[in-house]
């Protein structure tokens, strides 16, 4: 297999798909963060939340890339040949489906119930015994660092979001399974994470500076258009994989 040429194509495609993934109004990217940052006046907190989510997303990407890369190194040549054809056909079919029915593989119910019902049950047991001595028994429940809990939670969500497959990562899955190199596999997913992180950070910054940006990005036509573009890129990569391996 011509891993050098194919690797460069995979890297470039992954970067583009990562940038697309970061701005796509789906349940895998900035929509998860939007409720936490919309209307916020604390720039440092917005930065911390965004960084935590991107950190989790990056860890998820690296974990997938490493797992698939290690798997590919143990496959015999005969199996790799079959895997080449099967994965190429699958991602071409996937790309066609994304162009034909963009919501079919990526239908998210955007009715996220972000009802932030902050039930402040602080269990303040103020035992003010002022009769026989000052027994100010302020037995507060153990305090949790709300900021740290939120950061860990968002990092976890970012990680899980990457583990749950999104159509935009089909290209990387295909390449990694055929790469026979865990380094190349990790690199492809890392560049995808970089693209996602950069574009997502820019979107969150826009939301922070002007909450109206979120409403503009939630137009109904945006996600289908993005997914169709992903479909075209996916078909091109699948076709190039077959060409580079067997026809070039």
- What is the reported pLDDT for 207? 74
DSSP H/E element including 92: helix 77-100
Domain range annotation of the chain: 3-38+60-105+148-247
pTM, to two decimals: 0.64
The residue among 183, 212, 160, 220 whose CA lies nearest residue 10 is 183
Phi, psi of 129 (to 5 degrees): -90, 90
pLDDT of residue 59: 92
Q: What is the mean pLDDT of the chain?
A: 73
235 or 116, higher pLDDT: 235
Q: What is the pLDDT of residues 182-236, one digit of tens each?
A: 899 999 999 999 999 999 898 888 777 766 555 566 667 777 777 787 778 778 8
Q: What is the pLDDT of residues 42-70, one digit of tens each?
A: 788 888 888 998 999 899 899 999 988 88
Strand partners, 136: 128
Q: What angle do CA 163, 168, 172 make, to 5 degrees?
A: 75
């Amino acid at each position: 297999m011509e891993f050098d040429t194919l690797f460069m194509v995979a890297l470039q495609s992954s970067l583009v798909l990562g940038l697309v993934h970061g701005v796509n109004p789906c349940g895998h990217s900035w929509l998860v963060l939007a409720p936490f940052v919309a209307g916020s006046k604390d720039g440092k907190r917005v930065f911390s939340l965004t960084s935590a989510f991107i950190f989790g997303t990056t860890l998820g990407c690296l974990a997938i890339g490493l797992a698939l890369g290690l798997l590919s190194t143990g496959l015999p040549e005969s199996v790799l040949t079959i895997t080449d054809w099967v994965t190429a056909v699958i991602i071409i079919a996937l790309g066609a489906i994304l162009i034909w029915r963009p919501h079919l593989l990526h239908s998210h119910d955007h009715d996220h119930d972000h009802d932030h019902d902050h039930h402040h049950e602080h269990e303040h047991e103020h035992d003010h015994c002022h009769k026989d001595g000052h027994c100010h028994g302020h037995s507060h429940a153990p305090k949790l660092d709300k900021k740290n809990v939120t950061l860990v939670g968002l990092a976890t969500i970012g990680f899980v979001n990457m583990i749950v497959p999104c159509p935009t990562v089909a290209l990387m899955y295909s390449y990694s399974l055929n790469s026979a190199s865990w380094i190349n596999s990790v690199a492809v997913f890392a560049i995808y994470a970089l693209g996602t992180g950069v574009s997502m950070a820019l979107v969150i910054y826009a939301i922070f500076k002007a909450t109206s940006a979120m409403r503009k990005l939630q137009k109904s036509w945006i996600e289908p258009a993005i997914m169709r573009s992903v479909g075209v890129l996916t078909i091109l990569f699948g076709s190039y994989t077959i060409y580079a391996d067997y026809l070039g």
